[in-house]
Structure formats: structure tokens, C-alpha cells
Structure 1
Amino acid sequence: MRKIVTIILFFAIGLAGCEKGLSDLNVNTTSPTSLDPVLLLNQAVINTSFPVKSLVFDIGVVQQMVTPNGGVLAGANFNQDSRDVTTQPLWTAYYQSVIKNTHDAVVRSKSNTARSNMYNMARIFQAYVYMILTDEYGDIPYTQGGAGYSDQIILPAYDAQQDIYPKIIQELTDASAALSTSATIETGDVLYGGDVAKWKKFANSLLLRAGMRLSKVDPTKAQATVQAAVTAGVITSNADNAYIRHDANFTQPIGSTLNGSEAANFYLTKPFVDQLKNTGDPRLQAIAIRYVGAASGAGQTVAVGSTDPTKQIGMPIGYDNGSIVAKAQADGLASFYDYSQADRRRILKISSPVFLVTAAQTNLLLAEASFRGWITGGTAGQYFSNGIKAHMDQMAAYDPNCAVAATDRDNYVAANPLPAGDELEQINIQYWIASFLNGPEAFANFRRSGFPALTPNPYGQPNNPDVPNGTFIRRLTYPTSELSVNTKNVNAAIARQGADKLSTRIWWDKP
């Protein structure tokens, strides 16, 4: 009996020994239990590069580039609401890949006093992306927009744009002021390497932009916001530009599209080419190429490509791939493939940068603010010239062969001073040019200012249910996913804002 007891006791002791540490086997020692918020911010930044949707809608609405082809490319060229194909990607990309990350970066760093700069940088960038979203759609999920993970809010309520803008302005003001060189410098940041001075200028330039958005709907608030931004310090040098870098592995979205399957489908428009050509603007040579005599996409070869400004011919607005054939012949071209394009081997190569906020744009907004009498310390004419110079100098960042010679730049500026009696139009025409390839900003400022004075795209009018005769697309429509899943909240926004149509004006967009 003693032998049996001894064996049982030995077995029990052995079993206990085996169980000791057994729970540790269920712990994954290689899986992170926390995520550095700078990684979340960086992921947000790199996912902000404007998706192809911007080419199909924003850039088309402001008549800088257009395609005569429909299908998945239908949008601004046909005044067509193609929400499932082209409008949803911006909403989805920004909420899922940008706002989700900035929100989580804010939540993770908010209570960490050692990461106060991280917290405020994330707030600033989130405010920037929310400004794009509300400018594109109007009322959007803002207060609850990124709270799916942190607060388990999967069907967020929509905020009215009238309520969103004051909150964005406050976020930018507070976060900029809170940034400090005495706090931890977030050197891992991909936008500015944690440079506090540059982040402050970025925030204040966004504040200036937000203030100018209100120029029609609330001039008093607009002026106060602009003055605060200028006092705090904005971007006036290209050295402080906010832009996203790309390479062969992380490619520029629009550049990738136009160097791939859609290479022969998008063309510079007649209004854009004529503006540059008629004023002797050296940026035309930096931007455009025409494959002279091309009868097909295969005919667009390097051998026939010309960047000579005198040979550039823009594609007219309002034609499809049937009617454009006769128009091209009437213009003396071999086919519509013979119209000018943005050069995909220079300005739209796959490694070209995406500019978010620039010295050119900021100087031109300062020119308008100065003309309105909202700021002092510089003349509207000087800011105007500085803005043009900054954009011409910026061209070299796309490719060395896009560079504008200093002599050509200075000669153009000298020949094109800010004209008395036509200030607002000329300032905003230059803003239109300086925002080339930044579709959301070009679209927003066109609606705000009313310039350039483009002729509405006539395609499908006067019986187009989406865009009435003689009008422009004024916003993007909500994606079908929101209408079918977040029905109650999106319908409340529609009831407040107006019909979910391309022609419905958002809050700050006043006639």
C-alpha cells in the first residue's frame, strides 16, 4: 500500500511541476500590447495622398483635367453622380485609413504628458482631414467620426457643417499654441520630423484657410480667424510646405493611375491650357505634354511628345468619346489622343509628391485678406507676386525637368502684377493654378470665391437630375454604404442640409 501511495504522490508532484508555467505558454511574447501613436499618425499622413476620386470629380469640376470616357471614369465629365464607383473611395479611405488613425493617436497620447507634442500634432492633422471631408460632403460624422474602436460607436451621428467649422478652428488654435520645443520632439514623424516651428506654421496656415472659407457666410468670424492665423505665423516659404513623399514602392495614387491603365484617358482642359498659354505662363511647359499626331493611346510615344507651350491644345469640356472625335478633327488634330496631357513622365511620375498646404496657396490667401483690409503688414500686390513665385519654384520638386527658370519666373511676375479693379478674380485664378493636382482644395476655393469664371459643363443639361442647367457640381454625395447602414443618421443630415445631390450647396458655399 505504501508503494502505491508513493507512486501516486510522485505523479501528483510531477503533474504540478508540469502545470507550473503552463499559463505562460498562452502569452504571445512577440505581439505588441501597445502601439506608438507616432506610427498611427504616420499611417494617417501617408494615406492622405489624394485618391483617384479627386481626379474624376474635384479636378474635373474645376476644369483642369477631363476624360471623354465614361464607365468607372464617369463623374465630373458627364455631371454624373457615380457614388459607388468614385465618391465612396474618398469617404472610405479617409475615415478608415486616416481619421481612424488620427483619432486613436489622439486617444493614446492625450494623457501622456511626455508626448504632448504628439497629441497636438495628431489633433492638427485630424482637423485638416476633417476640413477636407466636410468641404467635400457638407454635414459629416465629426464628434463621433473616429470613435469606432475607442468608444465602440459604429453608427456615428452627423454634425452640421455650421457646428464643425468652429470646432476645427478651435482645435487648430489650441493645438498650435500647445506645441512646444521644450516637450519631447517626435523625430519619427514623417511630415516634418517633429519640427515644432513647421507644425505650428502648418496649423496656422490651415487656420487661415478655414477663416477664408467663411468669407461669405460669416465675414466677421472670417476676419478674426485670419488675423489670428497671421499673427501666429503661417507658411510663406517653400521650405515649410506640407507634402507627402512617394517612391517606387509607395507610389503617388494619381500618378500610378495615369502611368497605368488610364494613361491615355485624361487630358488637360481647354480653359486651363488657354489660361497658361494666353498669359505666357512658364508653368505650361513644366506641366504639359502633347503627343503630336497621336491617333491612339499607343501613339503617345516619347518620340512625338512635345512640351513646347505653343503646341499645347487643351481638350474642351462637355464631350464624350463619341462626340469628341469630330471636335478633335475640327481642332485640326489627328484624334482626341492628340490633345495635351499632364506629363506622366515628369509632374505625374509615380514618385511625384502630393502637396497639402503650400507657401504659394498661403501667400495668395494673404493677398486676398490684405485686399479685403483684414490684415496689415504687407500689400496685396506683394503677396500676389510672392504666391506666383513660390508656385513656380515649387515645380522643381515634381521633377528637375519641371523646374521654371528664375528669369522666366521673374519676367512673368513683372508682366503680371495684381491689376486694380480685378483683384479678387486674379488672385483666385492664381490660386486655381497653384492648387493644380490638389483637387479638394481647388474645388473648395472655386466654390468659395467663384473664380475662375468657368463656363458650366454642358454635358447632359438641361435635363440632368443631378446638376441643373447652367450650374456646377457643388458637393459630393454620401456613399451607398452610409445610406444603407447608417440610415437614420445620414437621413437626419440630409433633412438638415438639403437633398443628397451633387448640386446641393454646403453651408459656407453661398452664391
Structure 2
Amino acid sequence: MKNFKIYIMGMLLVFGSLTSCDEGFDELNTNKVDPTTLTPSFLMNNAIINTSFQDGFGTLVHLSYTFPIVQQIVTPFGSSLSGGNYNQNNVDNTARIWTTYYRTVVRDIVDVVQKTKDVEASVNTYHSARIWKAYVFQMLTDTYGDIPYFEAGKGFSENIITPKYDAQEVVYKDILKELDEATAALDASKAADPTDILYGGNVVKWKRFGYSLMLRAAMRLTKVDPTLAQTYVAKAVAGGVMQSNADNAATRHTALYVNWLADHLGAREKANYYLAAPFINYLRENSDPRLKAIAVRYVGAKSGSEQVNDRATTDPAKQVGMPMGYDNVTIAQTFAELGVASLWDFSQVNINTVLNRTAAPTYHVTHSQTQLLLAEAAVRGWITGDPATYFTNGITAHMEQFAEYGPNAAIPSADIQAYVQAHPLDVSTPEKALEGINTQYWVSSFLNGSELFANFRRSGYPALTPNPYPGKEITEEDFIRRLNYPDSEIVVNQANINEALTRQGPNKLDTRVWWDKKL
């Protein structure tokens, strides 16, 4: 009996101590350092920054695909760098924009839209986020075609982990609607977010960006729905597009948030990528003053280690572009004819000017691009104004934009005027005018991979010769028309991706997206 009493007393003491330990338990076990939620302004900035592939390797989608497809930058090397240079499917690199955007950018920007939708004090953040969301999804659908759109980015908020795919036509019509509503709703009389890294909360600039993006999206439909395209072009012009380079939508880089494309080409890929012959030849043959700022050649280099400053020249007359259609072995047969010592002797993008890792901005939508799209809209009779004037303004704006890369890239006003006077728009026929405008758009969009790839497919210009590499995987088309869905997506979302493929066509590089109608 005595032992039993002792046992009971012990148990009471234990329970008592447990009860006392319970006091303050929740407070003690609450992490006061790591956040459980993030403010919309932080998420918004994170989405904008990551759009430029702050994961680093995401830039390989451009280096391996969009740049070589439009024949501006190319590598002769295969393996992990293969893609558009060989017209082949590289499952790692075709997936990079998909995985980067859905896992980070889409997740963050959808969260911003949801968190600010009904918050009166965040009305401008809400509408700015809708504009950036439209920009991000336009790049995704331009690249892949049908994509998860309405259900995308809702894995946490609504537990949608296998989102359905929406037809590109539906996606585009909603993007245009969103841009129309959101841009019009921005209100300069209401509070804006001064920490916004794109425009510092400047609502007027956000409006001009929104309407310029609407113009871009509308012009994407010229082949498939010109009536709808014209309607939204008119809305964009009436709303007010970009007026100068001060309105450019660009990510400004620092030592904290470096230009990752520049980082790649200035470090691990420094000896692997070269300016393509079609691009170099076009600039040189037209005495384009941009060539001096864009290109550098390490004359006589016979290895990557010999690409040193003592060999560097930016003289336009000495630049030699790498021809398309060769690998790192077969390229040797071109050396004698082109006057180079090795593959390392071809011209490269200048990492001290247009690809300075901390000073070179990443441009998303520019005044120059906008003026050239207006030139095309005027040629089509969709807006008033002189196409030749828009054309000249677009070229001038891009050349003046080079000053933002630093003093060594700035183009003198006299050189700009000499160029535009020597290269007026040929309006002898609408087709000649469209070719001139979109060829200049090709130059104006240099380093803007997604837009280069999209506008080339839409317009058919510049008139490039198909890449003759013998091992190509495309059989129905002369050029790659889209990038393949990732293998990982096929594994985890098979039913929805199969439904999209039934509607769109095979998961192949030469399957055309909806707006890329074959005429």
C-alpha cells in the first residue's frame, strides 16, 4: 500500500510538471526569425528579378535555343550545350524556361495578384502584378504553346498540383483582356510601391509598359486574328505607349543581382559561344555603328586561354561571325576561307559593354521595339502615322539605348543620324516594308531571346537561310517552331499534357503554336 501511494504521488508530480511545461509552449516553439508569409512587394520584386533567370543556368534556354535559332549567337559544341545549333532536342535546355518560371516566377506573381486583389491600399500593386503576370505567361505560351494558365501557380493556395492546360488562343485572349483592364485601372492618384524595382512605383511608366506590352501581344496575332489584333493595337495606342528610352522596362543589375547571361558568357561559357555569321555580316555590310559596341574578337586565339585583352579588337572591319551548320570538329574546314586561326578566333559578344555583368540591363520591352511595331501597324493601315517615321524612331531609340551600357558602348549622335539617313524604310511594297521593319526588330531585340524567337516566327523576318547542320531532328519545318514540354511534366501531369498534345500537335520542335499559322 505504501508503494502504491508513492507511485500515485510520483505520477501527480509528473503530470504537474508536464502542465507547467505547457505554459508558453506555443510562444516557445514559434520561429520568430523565419517568415511564414512574404509581403506582396517582396514577391513582386522577386518575380521580376527571377524572370531574368537568377538561377544562372536558366539562361541556357537562350544560349542553346533562341539565339542560335535566330542566328545571332551560336556554339559549335554539343553535349550539354546542344540545341538550336544542331536543330536537336536537348531535354535539359528546352525545359529551362518552364521550370524556372513555373517554380519561382509564376508562383510568386500569382501569389501577389491573389494577396492584393481586394486590398484598396494595394490597388496599383495589384494591377502592376497583373501586367507582369501577362508578360510572364506570354513568354511561356510563345515558347511552348498550350500551357497551364488559369490553374497555374495555385498549388499552395488551392492545392492544384496537376493544373490543366489551356489552349493558346484562350490564353492570349485573356492576356489581352488582363492588360486592357489592369493598365486602364492603374491610378496615379493612389499609393504606389516605391520599392518596386522596375519603375520605383511610377504609375505613368507602368501604364506605358502595359500598353506597349498590349501592342506586342496584339501584333502576335497578325496571322490568325488580324481583326482582334487591330482592335487591341488601337487600344494600346489610345492608352499611350512608351515615349522614350526612359520608359523601357528593364532589370537594372548590381553586384547583388548580376546579369546572369553576362555572368555565364563571362565565366564558365566564355570560350563556348560566338556571334553568328548572319548577324555579324548584316551589321558589317550595313556599316551599323552598333557592331563596334556589340562585338569583340580575340585575334589569333587558338584556345580559350588565349582570349586575352592583348588580342582583343572591337574594330568592325575585323569581326568574323561563326558560320551556321558546323560542330567543333567540322568548323575547322572554314578557317582558311574566313581567315581565322581556330574556332576561338571568331567574334564574341563584348562582356565589357552590352554584357557587363553588373552594368548591362536586361531589357524586357523597349521604346525601340514599340516604335518598330507601330511602324508595322501603320504599314498594315491599323493606325495613323508615317511608317517611315516610326521606323527611324525605332532605330534611333535602340542606338541611343547603347549609352545605358556605359560610355564605351555609347554611339555618337552623328553616327546615328548618318545610319538612319542611309537606311530609310523601303515602302515600295508592303512586303518590303515589313521585311525592313522586322529585320531591324531583330537587331533591336538583341539579347532578348524570347522576343527574338517569337517575332521571327510571327513575321518570317529576317530572311535567314535554314541552319544546314546535318544531324537535325526537325523534319516538317526549316526552323524550330517551339520548344518541347519537359519530361518531368510528362511524368507528373500526363493526363493534362496528353489532352494538350491532342489539341496542339506532337511534342516536337517543329510543331507550330496557334498564332504561328503557316500561310
TM-score of the two chains, using structure 1 as the length reference: 0.94
Structure 1 Cα separation of the partners of residues 239 and 287 of structure 2:
36
Give the 3-state SS of the residue equivalent to 2:208 in structure 1: helix
The yes-or-no answer on 1:290 pairing with 2:297 is yes
Structure 1 position 18, deviation (Å): 6.7
Structure 1 Cα separation of the partners of residues 22 and 93 of structure 2:
58
Q: Which residue of 2 aligns with 1:372?
A: 380
Counterpart of 2:449 (choices 439, 443, 447) is 439
Structure 1 position 182, deviation (Å): 2.2
Structure 2 Cα separation of the partners of residues 21 and 240 of structure 1:
54
Give the 3-state SS of the residue equivalent to 1:249 in structure 2: coil
Which structure 2 residues correspond to residues 457-476 of structure 1 after superposition, within 5 A?
457-460=467-470, 464=472, 466-468=473-475, 471-476=478-483
Give yes or no for contact 2:477–2:510 (8 Å, CA) kept in 1: no
The yes-or-no answer on 1:428 pairing with 2:431 is no
Which structure 2 residues correspond to residues 112-511 of structure 1 after superposition, within 5 A?
112-351=119-358, 352-376=360-384, 378-421=385-428, 422-460=432-470, 464=472, 466-468=473-475, 471-511=478-518
Relative to structure 1, is the Cα distance of residues 23 and 62 closer, same or farther in structure 2, using a 3 angstrom cutoff? Answer: closer
Structure 1 position 242, deviation (Å): 0.4
Give yes or no for contact 1:367–1:379 (8 Å, CA) kept in 2: yes
Structure 1 position 35, deviation (Å): 2.1
Structure 1 position 330, deviation (Å): 2.3
What residue identity is the alignment partner of 1:385? T
What residue identity is the alignment partner of 2:171? I
Give yes or no for contact 1:49–1:253 (8 Å, CA) kept in 2: yes
The yes-or-no answer on 1:68 pairing with 2:92 is no
Could you list the structure 1 runs, at least 4 aligned residues long, displaced by more than 4 angstroms after superposition: 10-20
Give the 3-state SS of the residue equivalent to 1:290 in structure 2: strand
Counterpart of 2:67 (choices 32, 56, 59) is 59
Relative to structure 1, is the Cα distance of residues 343 and 30 closer, same or farther in structure 2, using a 3 angstrom cutoff? Answer: closer
Q: How many residues align?
A: 500
Q: Deviations over 1:10-60 (max 9, x none)?
A: 989999777544443233344435321011010000001152211210011
- The answer for unaligned runs of 5 or more in structure 1 is none
Relative to structure 1, is the Cα distance of residues 410 and 339 closer, same or farther in structure 2, using a 3 angstrom cutoff? Answer: same
Give the 3-state SS of the residue equivalent to 1:43 in structure 2: helix
Give yes or no for contact 1:291–1:301 (8 Å, CA) kept in 2: yes
What residue identity is the alignment partner of 2:42? L
Structure 1 position 65, deviation (Å): 0.6
Give the 3-state SS of the residue equivalent to 2:468 in structure 1: coil
Give yes or no for contact 1:172–1:204 (8 Å, CA) kept in 2: yes
Structure 1 Cα separation of the partners of residues 498 and 153 of structure 2:
20
Q: Deviations over 1:292-321 (max 9, x none)?
A: 111111121111111111111111100001
Structure 2 Cα separation of the partners of residues 29 and 283 of structure 1:
53
Give the 3-state SS of the residue equivalent to 1:477 in structure 2: coil
Give the 3-state SS of the residue equivalent to 2:147 in structure 1: coil
What residue identity is the alignment partner of 1:55? L
How high is the sequence identity, in percent, across the aligned residues?
50
What residue identity is the alignment partner of 1:432? W
Give yes or no for contact 2:476–2:510 (8 Å, CA) kept in 1: no
Structure 1 position 82, deviation (Å): 0.6
Q: Which residue of 2 aligns with 1:101?
A: 108
Structure 2 Cα separation of the partners of residues 143 and 278 of structure 1:
47
Give yes or no for contact 1:458–1:469 (8 Å, CA) kept in 2: no
Give yes or no for contact 1:245–1:354 (8 Å, CA) kept in 2: yes
- The answer for unaligned runs of 5 or more in structure 2 is 1-5, 54-58
Relative to structure 1, is the Cα distance of residues 19 and 145 closer, same or farther in structure 2, using a 3 angstrom cutoff? Answer: closer
Q: Deviations over 1:310-342 (max 9, x none)?
A: 111111100001110111222121112111111
Relative to structure 1, is the Cα distance of residues 295 and 33 closer, same or farther in structure 2, using a 3 angstrom cutoff? Answer: closer
Give yes or no for contact 1:236–1:360 (8 Å, CA) kept in 2: no
TM-score of the two chains, using structure 2 as the length reference: 0.93
What residue identity is the alignment partner of 1:88? A
Structure 1 Cα separation of the partners of residues 383 and 199 of structure 2:
28
Q: Deviations over 1:210-230 (max 9, x none)?
A: 110001100100100100001
Give the 3-state SS of the residue equivalent to 1:40 in structure 2: helix
Structure 1 position 149, deviation (Å): 1.1
What residue identity is the alignment partner of 1:121? S
Q: Deviations over 1:344-365 (max 9, x none)?
A: 2221121221100000100000
Structure 1 position 506, deviation (Å): 0.3
Structure 2 Cα separation of the partners of residues 25 and 504 of structure 1:
58
Structure 1 Cα separation of the partners of residues 25 and 97 of structure 2:
48
Give the 3-state SS of the residue equivalent to 1:258 in structure 2: helix
Structure 2 Cα separation of the partners of residues 39 and 403 of structure 1:
34
CA RMSD, Structure 1 to Structure 2 (Å): 1.9
Structure 2 Cα separation of the partners of residues 481 and 82 of structure 1:
14
Q: Deviations over 1:132-186 (max 9, x none)?
A: 0000000000011111111111111100001100000000010111111222211
Structure 1 position 236, deviation (Å): 2.9
Q: Which residue of 1 aligns with 2:41?
A: 38
Structure 1 position 470, deviation (Å): 6.2
Relative to structure 1, is the Cα distance of residues 468 and 20 closer, same or farther in structure 2, using a 3 angstrom cutoff? Answer: closer
Q: Which residue of 1 aligns with 2:51?
A: 48
